Amino acid sequence: MESSLHRDPLFTKKLTVFILVTFGFTWLCWLPLLLNKQFAAGLPVLPGQFYLGSFGPLLGTLVSVRLPGAGGFTAWCRTAFSLAFPKKWLGLAAGLPLAYGAAAILAHTLITGSAPDMRQFGLTSDLPPQFGVWMTALVWMLTFGIGEESGWRGYLLPELHQRYSLFTSALLVAVIWMAWHLPAFWFNESYLGMGFSVIGWAVSLTYGSVVLAWICAGSRWSILPVILWHGIFDLITASDQAAEVMAMVCSMLVIIHGILLMRILGRRGSLPPEQ
């Protein structure tokens, strides 16, 4: 039976600390970017400050696991970065976003009448122009891959799954994940001007949370495969040339995949991650 939060003060404390530290660090990093964009505040910012904000979930995790009774950093690290999982999940984690990307390239070619410029594949104006696709992929994995997944799937998902089904836990993670992104809608070019397409973004993120929960649980709560998935997916969908057709197709495929996984995740009742 799923426990009520008020019956577990430690869980409530851990969740509260995680959210406050995660949101606090990221939003403080992003605040100067927002003020500069919206009000021309002229505040100094560090190179890559947007990417620095990605480490909020990691910092929230590092603080939360050190709370009394929370298990400690060493225990968390042994699980989150374990290699003791079926290696097929690495193949799935890499293969799925690459398959989404291949379908997106085909769709782009059919819709626009020309193939995307593969020399610009994966590149973004958010990073220096001398960064090639491999360097860009590495940046995504080291920032929004490790930074986010250490928190969302490495800590928050297994904590919630001790009380809720895997599907419900994935939905709760998605809600918090969406709220965490809010400041970006006022300064980041990928989010500015979304308009009603924000609904599609929210739906895609929700089902992306379902897909990543499935991969993480299958990987015995190691986040290495989901870091790989997250990094490759961002490489494909956050590139400048993916702003329209390619990002939309990838998001649609994630939604379809997530829908197919709903029943599987719903059958996984609340169990401690170590079982």
pLDDT digits (tens, 9 = 90+) for 110-163: 988 877 776 666 667 777 777 877 888 888 899 999 999 999 999 999 999 999
Structure-block tokens of residue 26: 């990221």
Domain that holds residue 192: 83-266
Which of 232, 273, 261, 251 has its CA nearest to residue 95? 232
In a domain, 133, yes or no: yes
Flag whether 73 is in a domain: no
In whole angstroms, what is the distance from residue 139 CA to residue 127 CA?
A: 9
Percent of the chain residues topping a pLDDT of 90: 67
Q: Is residue 56 part of a domain?
A: no
Query: Residue 137: its pLDDT value, please?
Result: 85
Q: Residue range 193-198: average pLDDT?
A: 85
- Residue 37 in any domain: the answer is no
pLDDT band for position 241 (cuts 50, 70, 90): low
**Residue 114 forms part of a structural domain:** yes
Residue 157 forms part of a structural domain: yes
Residue scoring higher pLDDT (9 or 171): 171
Instruction: State the CB neighbour count (10 A cutoff) for residue 193.
Output: 9
- Mean model confidence pLDDT for the chain: 89
Q: What is the pLDDT of residue 85?
A: 97
pLDDT for the residue 268: 83
| Tally of domains in the chain | 1
Q: Quick check: is 9 in a domain?
A: no
242-246: long-range contacts, CB 8 A cutoff, minimum separation 24: 242/104, 243/190, 245/104, 245/107, 245/108, 245/111, 245/112, 246/101, 246/104, 246/105, 246/107, 246/108, 246/116
pLDDT at 235 over 60: yes
**Tokens encoding 107:** 């769709």
Is the CB of residue 169 less than 8 Å from the CB of residue 213?
A: yes
The pLDDT of 49-60, averaged and rounded, is: 97
- Is 192 within a domain? yes
With tokens 């430690």, the residue in question is 10
In this prediction, residue 197 carries a pLDDT of: 86
pLDDT for residue 4: 47
- Tens digits of residue pLDDT in 66-81: 999 888 999 999 999 9
